[in-house]
Amino acid sequence: MDAEKIRTLMEDQLKQTRRLRARVQELEEERSAALAVVGIGLRLPGGLDSPDAYWDFLRGAGTAYSTIPEDRPGLRAVHDPVPGKPGRSYVDRAGFLSDIAHFDAEFFGISAREAKLLDPQQRMLLETAWEALERAGIAVRRADRLDVGVYLGMMASEYNERMADRTDLSRIDPYFTTGGGLCFGAGRISYVMGFRGPVLSVDTACSSSLSALHLGARALRGGECRYALVCGSNLLLSANLMVSLSQTRALSPEGRSKSFLATADGYGRGEGVGALVLMRLADAEREGRPVLAVVRGTAVNHDGAASGLTAPNGPAQQEVIRAALADAGVQAAELGYVEAHGTGTVLGDPIEVGALDGVVGAAVRERGLPLSIGSVKSRLGHLEAASGIAAVIKTVLMLEHGEIPAARAPEDGELNPHIPWDELGFTVPVDNQPWPAGLARRIAGVNSFGMSGTNAHVVLEAYQRAEETPAGGARRPELLTLSAKDPSALAELAAAVAGYLKQADPALLPSACHTLRAGRAPQPCRIAVTGSTAAELADRLTAAVGRHAAAPAATAPRRLTLRLPAGDRDRLTACVGALAEAFPDLLTGHGADPATELAALAGRLGLPVRAVADAPADGPALLEWEAAGATRAMPLTDAQPGRAPALLLDAVAALHLAGADLRPDALRAPGARLLGDLPTYPFQRRRFWVDEPALGAGPAAAAVGAAASEAPAARDPEAVRAYLRAELRAVLDSTEELDLDRSFLESGGDSFISTLFITRVEERYEIGLTAEDLPLELPLADIFGRLAADIATRAEAAA
C-alpha cells in the first residue's frame, strides 16, 4: 500500500474516532443532563396552598401542628395519653391539613357520586398537579395528549376503610376500587388530563416521593417523556397506623418531630400533597419557562442486610449521598445546605449526621465554612410518603431566594448530645441567614430515608438566569384572556389577576399576558380585554366581569375565512410589516407575498383558514367566521398600517369570546417569557365526604344513588324520558338538574356510571340497545330519546 493510501486511511480513521468520541460525549451529557423545576403545586399543614405562602411560613416562626380535627373521629377515639395501652395511641397532635373534604368535581369532569368515594388524596393531587402545570405555563388540553410522565409517591390510602363492613357489602360499588387503590392516584391524573407519558405509583414508605423524583429524572434524561410531573401525598385518616406506630413507640408523645434536638423522642406525623413539574433545562430555556431551580443529580439505594428491616443503615446512607453527588458532578465542598431527613428520633438523627459527615465532613472542615442542615419536619410534621416532596419544594424556594431559614427556635433548647457537634463542620441555624457568601454556586442536597430501607438523595442548584431585555416597547397593545368553567370562578380569577396587575412590574406586562394566553387551557366562560398598560387592563378586566361571563354558543368557530382586498399591495405590505415587528413569532419572515403572509398569520392562530381575494380593493382585509348561526367579520388591516397589531388583537379577542380553541403562543411580544407567579385557577369548593363510622361499629348501608322515582308506563315516551333523567341524576348523586345538551361524559358519567344506570333501568323495563347504540359522547337528550323509543317499541311488541 502506497503512502497516499495509508494517509487517506489514517485520516478516515481519525474522523471516525472523532465522531465516536463526540457521540460518546453526547450520550454522557444526556445521561447527566441538567433538569429544571418549572412548576410547583402544594397543600401543606397550616393552610399553606402556594409557594409564596410556604416561603412566608418558612421564614416565620412557629409550627403548623394542631390537635386532631373533628372530622377524624377514629383518631380521636383511640387517643389515650398513657403510652403502651393496647389498641390506643398516645398522640393527639400532628400536622393536619385544614380542609380535605372540599373539591371542584365539575372542573375535572367527575360525578358527585364518584367524588364522594374518591380518596381525598386523589382529589388534591388533581388540583395541585393542575396548579403546578399552570405555574409552569403548560396549557392542559386533553386532546393534545401531552408527553407528560406522572411519578407519584404514596404509601397509604385509608379513606376506603370507612366503607368496609363485612356484614354489609352494599356500600361497595365500582368506585371502591378506583377511589382508593394506590395505582389510581397517578393514573387518574394522567387520565383526567390526557397525558401519554409513563405513569408510576411508588411506595418506599417515607422515601416514596423522592424515589418518584429519581424515576422522573431518569425518564427525562432517557427521553421517555418531555415533562415529568412528580408528586407526593399523605393523609392521616385511619386509627390503625397511628395505633401501630404508637405501639412501637416511634412517635413523639408531643406529636412533634424535634429534629437534631436533645429532646428528640420520636417523630410527629403530618399530612400534605405536593407536585413538581420537571423538564430538561435546555428545553425549559428554549420555551421560556419559569426555571425555579436545577436538579443536578439523584440516587436511590437500599439498606440491604442492616440490623433490622426498619433500622437506618449509615453506610448505605453514605453510598446514596456519594452516588447523587457523582451523578450531579458536584464536589462535597460545594454544598451550602442539606435538607436532612431529620425525623427527630434517638436512633435516626445521629446515624444520618454521621453518614453526612462520612461523605462531606472532611471537605466542609477543610474549606472552613460550616454546612447548615435542617429539616422542615420540625415545623410541618413528618409527611411520610410526601415528606420528600415537601423537603424538595422547601429547598427549591431557598435556592431561589438565596436564604436559609432557621431550622430551630431559641426555645427549642440544646442540640442532640449524642452527635459530636464540636467535632463536625455542621450547624443547625437558629435564625434566618443569607446563603454562604464564600461559595461560588448555590447548591443543596435533600435526604430521604424510608422505613422500607430505600434511601434517596437529590442534589439541587440555584438557577442563574441570564440578563434579560425587557419585553415589548412603550404603549404596545396587549391582549389579556381569561376563562373558567363557570361565571363564579371566572369572576374570582379576574379579581385575582386585576389585583396582580395593579402591583406588578410594568416591564412584566407582556410576559403576564403571554402566560395567561398561552399557558392556560381555555374553558367555556371567557373574558378578553385589550390595553397598553397594566392599570388599563386591570380596569377593563373588572368592567368585563358579568358582561362576557356567560358560556359561548355551542357552535364555536371551527374555521376562518380571510377576505383579502384585490389591490393596494403597498398598504398590505406595510400592515404585514407592522405585524411582523409587533409579533415576530407570528410570521414566516421570508419576504413572501403579503397576502400569503397574512393568510399564514391567520392560520397560526390554530384554526383552518381559507383565503379568498374578494374584498373591496380599497377596503381592509377581513377575518370572518361563523358562530351561533351568524357571520362575524373583523378587520386585520387599516389605512394606518400601525393599527394592524391592535386590529389583530381585537380579532383574537372576539374569537376567544366566541369559544374558539385558539393557539395564541405566537402572539408573544419580543422578550416575553412565561411567568410562574400569576394567579392559578380558583377551584370552586363543594363538600364530598363519607363520614367515618363510630369505632367498632359497621357503617350503615350507602344512601348514594337511591331510587329516583316510580317508573311510568313504558308506552309514554315523554314520561319515560323524564324518569330516565331523574334516574341518572340519582345515580350521579347530582344535586342539580342535568343539562340535556351536555354529553354523558361531560355530565360526569363514565363506563361505571353507564353500567349502574342501565342496570337500574333494566330492573323496570326491557332494553334492546347495546353499548354501541349509546356512545358516551352522545348528548343526554339523545341518549334518553333513544332509550325511551326503544322501551316503547319493546313494550308495544310485548303487548
Catalytic residue list: 206, 341, 382
Q: Where are the beta strands (DSSP E) in 188-251?
A: 199-202, 227-234
> What distance in Å separates the CA atoms of residue 420 and residue 412, rounded to the nearest whole number?
18
Helix (H, G, I), strand (E, B) or coil at 131: helix
**Any idea what DSSP says for residue 416?**
P
Cell of 622: 377581513
Q: Which residues contact 442 (CB under 8 A, 6 or more apart)?
A: 336, 399, 402, 435, 461, 462
Write 241-246 long-range contacts (CB < 8 A, 24+): 241/156, 241/158, 242/75, 242/78, 242/89, 242/91, 242/269, 243/78, 243/87, 243/88, 243/89, 245/89, 245/269, 246/83, 246/88, 246/89, 246/90, 246/91
What are the C-alpha distances in Å from 159 to residues 98, 200, 235?
17, 21, 9
Give the single-character DSSP code of 587: S
Residue with cell string 386533553: 142
| Of residues 117, 243, 246, 129, the one with CA closest to residue 186 | 129
End-to-end CA distance of the chain: 101
Instruction: Give yes or no for a contact between 198 and 729, defined as CB atoms under 8 angstroms apart.
Output: no
Distance CA 530, CA 543 (A): 12
Cell of 417: 448530645
- Classify each residue of 567-592 as buried b or exposed e, where b means 16 or more C-beta atoms within 10 Å of its C-beta: ebeebbebbbbbbbebbeebbeeeee
Percentages (nearest 5) of helix, strand, coil residues in the chain: 40, 15, 45
Handedness of CA 743, 749, 754, 758 (dihedral sign): negative
